[in-house]
Amino acid sequence: MKILFYDTYDYDKNAFEEQLKNFPDIHIDYLEADINPVTASLAKGYDAICAFVNSDLGALTLEILAGFNIKCILMRCAGYDAINMETAKNLGMTVLRVPGYSPEAIAEHAIGLALAADRHIVKGYNRVRENDFALSGLLGTTLHGKTAGIVGTGKIGAAMCHIVHGMGMKVLGYDSYHNPDLDFVEYVELDQLLRESDLISLHCPLFESNYHMINADSIAKMKDGVIFVNTARGGLVDTQDLIEGIRSHKIGACGIDVYEEEEPNVFRDRSSAVFESVVSTLCAFPNVVLTSHQAFFTKEALAAIANTTLTNAQAFAKGNLEQLPAPNIVS
Ligand code: NAD
């Protein structure tokens, strides 16, 4: 089976080449360019293409791929909102994905952001590099004995619940599904979670129904000086209201891995570009730590993504799709 990979970086290639040893019948070529109607024609002669979160797999791209008899789209991520699924179904395409990989990786990054922002770790490090050993401005909060509010207690949220519980925090959860494995979590309504939590961390998917669920109203309900973390999706938070919340000191520390306007930035080196963005506003605050969609980015997660993607590809090639876990199959 020959697969053309789009939107790849050296770390993708390394992770896949390592796993390929176990899949001798699969050959991969890697492109840096992402897929779109122009680059789709490069897939001529391949059996499948592999794409990522920000790829353009709209109707035109899919029709071009179908013209080259490509019947399999491999997403090396959980989300498939980049694909026009109606067109993919009409064209009889199989779409496979990686529904879950190292949820702990994201939860560990979330607590890392909380600590980095609240304990001013980046600022402290920069000071020490300049031989400035003063502590003024670096005061943080002890989390032990405080309350954590976890919004969404699925795979990643559950991992986060375990981490904060292990740190000695009381854990409040907000989710319509009450995870029976989390017997130490007290499930409450969102308003109570907002009112009582010292640390709030988002771990739910983004839907139309929860777009901007964190806005001026919900921020007003939070405790003064709350630590707020978002590693879920940018659209869950109204960025301008968040900025106001930080300015007014309602939010005492803020860790962000995803934000609304991230799409042109994610995974790209734009250090030479001149552009305006909320990034510079957020980074100007001394109590904000911002990363660019890197919460998933661990060796273990990349290995799991590569292994599942290649298992999906092999099942397609052998006509064994029924042997895959059902969530891997989108259509
Ligand atoms: P999951 O499906 O295992 O869990 C999601 C949970 O959220 C479910 O229990 C669901 O009932 C709950 N939920 C749905 N709507 C909710 C709402 N409005 N309020 C509260 N809870 C709600 O998903 P997961 O694997 O834990 O992933 C969670 C999210 O994390 C993903 O949807 C994605 O947006 C984000 N994510 C981020 C990264 C990153 O690198 N930053 C990587 C992977 C996933």
Contact 262 CB / ligand 1 (< 6 Å): no
Contact 157 CB / ligand 1 (< 6 Å): yes
Q: At what angle do helices 103-118 and 155-166 cross, to 10 degrees?
A: 50
Q: Which of 11, 156, 193, 291 to mutate to test the pocket of ligand 1 (most atoms within 8 A of CB)?
A: 156
Contact 210 CB / ligand 1 (< 6 Å): yes
Q: Would you call 293 a catalytic residue per the annotation?
A: yes
Query: What is the Å distance from ligand 1's center to 21 Cα?
Result: 32
Which atom of ligand 1 is nearest the CA belonging to 296? 40
76, 97, 203, 293: which is the annotated catalytic residue?
Answer: 293
Whose C-alpha lies nearest to ligand 1, atom 4? 154
Whose C-alpha lies nearest to ligand 1, atom 6? 154
Residue 187: predicted pLDDT: 98
pTM across the whole model: 0.91
Q: Which of 53, 77, 81, 106 to mutate to test the pocket of ligand 1 (most atoms within 8 A of CB)?
A: 106
Q: Please give the structure tokens belonging to residue 322.
A: 């029924």
Whose C-alpha lies nearest to ligand 1, atom 31? 205
Q: Would you call 262 a catalytic residue per the annotation?
A: yes
Query: What is the Å distance from ligand 1's center to 277 Cα?
Result: 26
Parts of the chain with a pLDDT under 70: none
97, 109, 203, 262: which is the annotated catalytic residue?
Answer: 262
Query: What is the Å distance from ligand 1's center to 116 Cα?
Result: 23
Residue 215: predicted pLDDT: 98
C-alpha–C-alpha distance, residues 73 and 3, integer Å: 10
Closest among 225, 232, 166 to 201, alpha carbons compared:
232
C-alpha–C-alpha distance, residues 248 and 219, integer Å: 11
Which residues touch 217 (CB under 8 Å, ≥6 apart)?
Answer: none
Residue 203: predicted pLDDT: 97
Query: What is the Å distance from ligand 1's center to 155 Cα?
Result: 7
Contact 50 CB / ligand 1 (< 6 Å): no
Residue whose entry in the numeric block shows the structure tokens 């375990």? 162
Query: What is the Å distance from ligand 1's center to 222 Cα?
Result: 21
Which atom of ligand 1 is nearest the CA belonging to 153? 9
